[in-house]
Structure 1
Amino acid sequence: MTTSAAETGTAFAAAWEEWHRGQEARLADPHGFLAITALHWLGPEPERFDDAPGAWSAGPEGVTVALGPGEGLVVDGETITGTHRFAPIPERGGVNAVWGDAVIEVAKRGGFDIVRPRHPGNALRTAFRGTPAYPPNEKWVVTGEYRAFAAPEPTTVGASVEGLEHVYDAPGEITFELGGAEQRLTAFPGKAPGTLTVLFTDATSGVTTYAANRVLQLPAPAADGSVVLDFNRAANLPCAYTDLATCPLPPARNRLAVAVEAGEQIPFERR
């Protein structure tokens, strides 16, 4: 049986809708990024916060919380009271401690230990209306060529938080044609082994799409180095919605001159 172009287009749109719903569901999760109420930077002196129990501090041996009378947290299924020291957290790692219906995220970003409480009742989450996006269009699906570097290249990028930096080992770059010209993007490691992440901006950034960044999650390149870039799935990072995220910015060479009129647009929260 031959599949018609209309059927193919319908299936393509349905697959995109499913992806977009998944994106919004993760954002709207009771303990997702929209639930964050504050970004607390920890130092050596214990400090208490309105949206988390205990007094928090950080040092070379990790993060410490001193819980007062009647205060407690649940970490890895175990209720803790008194003084608790978290093991040193690796960069971009984190631990979630449960406090009632809230989650207290303890993490490391840009070399700094942080606490980010996540409360389901946060107004940013409860008022979330979804994310506007361009209608899916197959013309924005392009095939590129992945070239691995001889060795991963440490690449320092800025962050949505002023003064913060992230360092990624870039395994290679992708070349492709878009807008009648050759384009080139540096790739970072993806979420699963072999997959890739691409941070970029383009001529729509700050106009119809979020100014600082968007991200593409790519499958592992094929044996011949080919890789598919579906710009319909260009997604916002959490910093597009909240100032309490520490998202990385694209490398300078990942700023496309072409207008990529595909994927997620500026969130309602930023308009």
Structure 2
Amino acid sequence: MEQGSAREGVRPAYAPGAFSRAPADGRTRECRVPEQARGERAGGERAGGERAGGRPADGEQARGEHTHSEPPAPRAVQRHSVRGQILDALRAALVDGELVPGQVYSAPALGARFGVSATPVREAMQRLAVEGAVEVVPNRGFRVSERGPRELAELAEVRALIEVPVMLGLARTVPAHRWCGLRPLAEATVTAAAVGDRAAYAESDRAFHRAVLTLSGNEQLVAVADELHRRSQWPLMSGPATRRADLLADASEHTALLDALVSQDLVVVQALVREHFAGADR
């Protein structure tokens, strides 16, 4: 029979999109695209909405033509399984330190905390075991893995080897207006950091990095980098919890990086990217 208990305060799963919020001061920053970039974005469009060659711009109807509107395709309904919600909640509890490294937790006890049976909790914990976040303890439950500074430093080094050259390459090829589209994600990290919500910050931080790397078009790279990023967010075996000031400093690097990318200042981009990953092992 499994033994152990969960600590108070393990939170429910987060709703998708819960971190796309306005900055802590309630204001959104305007993303100004340089004049040259705006000209490139126009892609040869002429006044009056026509493209070169006399064709109407995308989405416009030529004179004398009739179009038949069609009903929009139905959106796929997002159905989140109980196991998925429990998995999200457990990951948040890991980041928050509510699940303590070295402690053993039983599926029935955690299930009682969440108001569900032990089965979805056990399935979620088995997934975390595959990821290396917990270890299976036969007849008892799951022990939260204990990590030291060396493992965190190694993860930061591998992440830098993957992400730094990709980001520098994207800085040279991605137009400014594409970077502007990532502004809400960067500001979401600032919002989470401002209130000291480590779990919310972890999610928004990974969302920002995923969005940047997605511009590379390499899905395998995005998946590998995201998994390394997730593992780097688990708490250390000992030491103080991440401070609010540390979260704010990290979040400010996201917004500064976007500013440099929009202005296409490659020197500043390179310095910020390397500095950002140099601090990832702290």
Q: TM-score range by the shorter chain?
A: under 0.3
Higher strand share: 1
Higher normalized contact order (CA 8 Å, seq sep 6+, divided by chain length): 2
Q: TM-score, normalised by structure 2?
A: 0.25
The TM-score, its normalising length taken from structure 1, stands at 0.26
Compare CA radii of gyration and give the structure with the larger one. Answer: 2
Structure 1 or 2: more helix by fraction: 2
